[in-house]
A and B are shown apart, each in its own frame.
Chain A
């Protein structure tokens, strides 16, 4: 006979000294923990409720400008520094940590309409309605930290006067070119008082310009003739443009998927496009109830922030049709500019009420350094919430947002209007010959037409684009020359071989899938 029974000596299962940690034993047998799903569900529900309780996104307002904030720029080399320009010609550098002005840049006579910082973070470029472009030296961050007097004023490095008022400026991601938008698109060099290149396509004013982060020679602009145009600096003429039903106020390229960009439109929606396939939007982001004024992508490329004329800031998923979050306060007026901070955890908005406002990107996120146990706990709660997000109770709590009355009413009015339009179309379709009124998706409906390359230089082919871009990516990686579109904005370094000529043209053709 052989017998063994369970026998545990206390010494083996308890700590030796009182300073030791308590010993922990695990047994993952499902029979020991019954009703797991019910427990998880209850946890998910309370996590959703806790999220609502801790949702305090507003951190603080930055007061100082004496007129509406018209534009902002973030310093890619310094996390805390943000530049803002206002309608009275004032430019300020803010320290986000202390929420104070660090430095002022006086000089502009009229409104400042565009601000941008060079990739190395040394030079600030501003432009405005006084037809000047000004280059400024950005003060060194260490000085910024020690010196907190707000009357610290800087002198411009250079002032370039030009023929027309400017509406926007953006700096190339890898190089020392920058582009201004106004009566035409001008490409400038830091050292020259006149633009090195100018593009014009139509007579209307260009109102926004944005360089692509992955491919430094590509830029997208929008103009007041309701068009979105894509330019390539290596070609002498614009590459491609689409005309929409309403004006696009701002454009932002997705930093992680450099072929995609999102346009903030006057018709309350944002439209995500694939630059190779402009005949339809990839996604329409609806929720605002008034014109969207500005848009900025998170450095992660997974979400973007928009500011609108309806006095709210919203955060959208890059592929989500509706916003994830809405921010508003009683005092915030029309939002003219928004920026995602470079660590993707804050959002800055500048509005008509002369203030910059600092928000958390995740409303209920715990700030500060987290202990590993705390972090694990947050991760666990996030996971269970995600698992049970479709259950009605959890969904209701997670979805609910308090809206200002005006916005709530405007949204419901818009809903009624779109519904009425849909019904009317349906009835018309029912009473007309079959096939005479085809259904058109919203992604296509808002585009009037697509115009191909300026003077017949390059033709963009949407259908071919995708496949050949994919093949070019693998080829580029193999050759080690262009790290291609799958890289992030800075690490990718774009394609330096771009200016080399013939060989480069071939590569370009392969990458962007265009055909002579």
Chain B
């Protein structure tokens, strides 16, 4: 009996130990996340003072990572959503109606369809906190909606084509790409700016009439808009494939570039480094920064036109969709395909937790990476009423909601596990008050980044470029140099002199001397090198004779 009890106890202890081990491993993972990369290699450092300073700093980093991991464990107010199935149920067979029956009333209200058949198809944009949405109908309907309280803040019609719409740094401002120009509106529908530059009207009147003239200093008829909220740059691509970057705080056109790769219908910003990626009709995806006229990266992704692009929030994963019925996932660190999936996609979007939504026609498919090895498999699906053409998919940040803009209005469905459950008040706050918003606007303007900070690897900022070693000339180069010097010495013409000084023997001697003189520095260098290498060899020999532990003393001259 006693033995048995002891056994049970031991088993319990082992189980507890394993539990503790599992927990500590999990915590280790979290700490790794907050450490932001590897520690400096202190062993290789010669400078003791620097080593000490760096060691102190590394310790500090470790402590803060641990504190952050602890805060994540204990202080986070919300938990993420999930969808778990039992038995032979499959997650992709679960319909939205079934989910609606299981969740609380507040969440079930987030499933809705707004039917607006006249002015569609609709495109959408969400504010950073996910609370506000702006919807734009192709035929000129603009609507600003508070998604939390479900109330319409403002709607108005501009009575011309609207191709895209985007929020600027907060919900008080948004920009719409209309028939000819990009316009900026405030949240009460006032037109604040029409982004066209002063064109020399007299000169270009004819061209403008014909519609041939395109001033490089204006966005023109933009097809897609994006906003870089840390740099306050409004990015647009127009139907001619011109890319524009305009600073909205000063109005300065920071960059305008001809992509020269054909029409493009897809433009996305990588949230990790704020590089703008454009998908072209030739199947290439090019990535741009506002300070260079050549693309940072040009990659051929598809055989046909690129129809949609999406970036994972960690910046390492890009999804592209082509006309040739392929969806590809790319590793942006190696620029390699990770996975190729079959299917069309008119629009794609990554959620904060890494789910990928794709849509074609009236069908939405959600893919997820559940194995942990970046293998995206199907997670959920949703088909809208027949005949709806989906134009835009957007996951709401900090919510388990997918917003869909389509030809008959806009809809919203629940995708459990898609959003980040915990927001940071200082990053994006869905419950922001007016005062906090004003404060944040000022702060973000003070921290506005210059356009030069956009680069492929933003972690490089603040690091030191390693000094390049001075390159030694190769043996062949030295030989060639020597040959040239000898040739030069030979070909110098000798002055004709009288009194037997230009006798052929004298001339020959002089020439010989000149050649020897030209050769001399090279020979000297050679001898020096040979001596050095011999010395080195000798030292190595001495070192190799000694046991390994004593080798480090071999170089030192013994003191008397």
Residues of A within 8 A of B (CB): 1-10, 12-14, 22-43, 46, 387-388, 390-391
- Candidate in A2, A5, A33 with the most chain B CB atoms within 10 angstroms: A5
Given that A3-B99, A7-B106, A7-B107 are known contacts, is A27 also in contact with B230, CB under 8 Å in the complex? Answer: no
**Interface membership of B322, Cβ < 8 A:** no
CB distance from B274 to the nearest CB of A (A): 7
CB distance from B440 to the nearest CB of A (A): 12
Question: B458 and A30: CB pair below 8 A?
Answer: no
Question: B315 and A27: CB pair below 8 A?
Answer: no
Give 9 nearest A-B pairs by CB, closest first.
A38-B453, A5-B400, A5-B81, A28-B68, A27-B424, A2-B84, A3-B102, A27-B422, A37-B461
CB distance from B470 to the nearest CB of A (A): 21
Residues in B neighbouring A24, C-beta threshold 8 A: 425-426
**Bound Cα distance from A333 to B90, whole angstroms:** 88
Question: B462 and A46: CB pair below 8 A?
Answer: no
Question: B78 and A38: CB pair below 8 A?
Answer: no
| Closest Cβ neighbor of A24 among chain B residues | B425
Contacts beyond the supplied A27-B76, A27-B424, A38-B461: 9 A-B pairs with Cβ under 8 Å: A5-B107, A5-B400, A6-B400, A29-B33, A32-B420, A34-B458, A35-B230, A37-B462, A42-B447
Residues in B neighbouring A1, C-beta threshold 8 A: 83-86, 89, 94, 98, 102
Which residues of B from 39 to 72 have beta carbons under 8 Å from A?
A: 68, 71-72
**Interface membership of B423, Cβ < 8 A:** yes
Question: B424 and A6: CB pair below 8 A?
Answer: no
**Interface membership of B365, Cβ < 8 A:** no
Give the total number of A-B pairs whose CB atoms are below 8 A apart. Answer: 142
Interface residue from B75, B83, B431 paired with A3 (Cβ < 8 Å): B83
23 A-B pairs with C-beta separation under 8 A:
A1-B86, A1-B89, A1-B98, A1-B102, A3-B84, A5-B416, A6-B107, A10-B431, A13-B77, A14-B431, A22-B433, A26-B71, A27-B72, A28-B68, A34-B271, A35-B273, A35-B453, A37-B458, A37-B462, A38-B458, A41-B462, A42-B447, A42-B450
**Interface membership of B301, Cβ < 8 A:** no
Question: B107 and A25: CB pair below 8 A?
Answer: no
Residues of B within 8 A of A (CB): 33-34, 36, 68, 71-72, 75-86, 89, 94, 98-99, 102-104, 106-107, 110, 148, 230, 271-274, 313-315, 352, 398-400, 414, 416, 419-428, 430-431, 433, 436, 446-450, 453, 458-459, 461-462, 464
Residues in A neighbouring B414, C-beta threshold 8 A: 5
Question: A390 and B464: CB pair below 8 A?
Answer: yes
Residues in B neighbouring A388, C-beta threshold 8 A: 462
**Bound Cα distance from A28 to B36, whole angstroms:** 11
Given that A5-B103, A6-B398, A26-B425 are known contacts, is A34 also in contact with B82, CB under 8 Å in the complex? Answer: no
CB distance from A256 to the nearest CB of B (A): 18
Question: A41 and B399: CB pair below 8 A?
Answer: no
**Bound Cα distance from A40 to B398, whole angstroms:** 25
| Closest Cβ neighbor of B91 among chain A residues | A1
**Bound Cα distance from A361 to B106, whole angstroms:** 59
Given that A26-B75, A35-B273 are known contacts, is A3 also in contact with B453, CB under 8 Å in the complex? Answer: no
Residues in B neighbouring A27, C-beta threshold 8 A: 72, 76, 420, 422-424, 427
**Bound Cα distance from A33 to B449, whole angstroms:** 14
CB distance from B74 to the nearest CB of A (A): 12
Question: A6 and B80: CB pair below 8 A?
Answer: yes
Question: B436 and A28: CB pair below 8 A?
Answer: no
**Bound Cα distance from A10 to B430, whole angstroms:** 10
Residues in B neighbouring A31, C-beta threshold 8 A: 313-314, 352
Question: A30 and B34: CB pair below 8 A?
Answer: yes
Interface residue from B83, B274, B446 paired with A46 (Cβ < 8 Å): B446
**Bound Cα distance from A46 to B450, whole angstroms:** 12
Residues in A neighbouring B458, C-beta threshold 8 A: 34-35, 37-38
**Bound Cα distance from A29 to B422, whole angstroms:** 10
Residues in A neighbouring B104, C-beta threshold 8 A: 7
Question: A25 and B462: CB pair below 8 A?
Answer: no
**Bound Cα distance from A94 to B420, whole angstroms:** 63
| Closest Cβ neighbor of B314 among chain A residues | A31
Interface residue from A10, A23, A26 paired with B424 (Cβ < 8 Å): A26
Question: A34 and B274: CB pair below 8 A?
Answer: yes
| Closest Cβ neighbor of A12 among chain B residues | B77
Interface residue from B85, B148, B352, B461 paired with A41 (Cβ < 8 Å): B461
Residues in B neighbouring A39, C-beta threshold 8 A: 230, 447, 449
Interface residue from B79, B82, B148, B274 paired with A2 (Cβ < 8 Å): B82
**Bound Cα distance from A8 to B98, whole angstroms:** 21
CB distance from A434 to the nearest CB of B (A): 15
Question: A29 and B420: CB pair below 8 A?
Answer: yes
CB distance from A318 to the nearest CB of B (A): 14
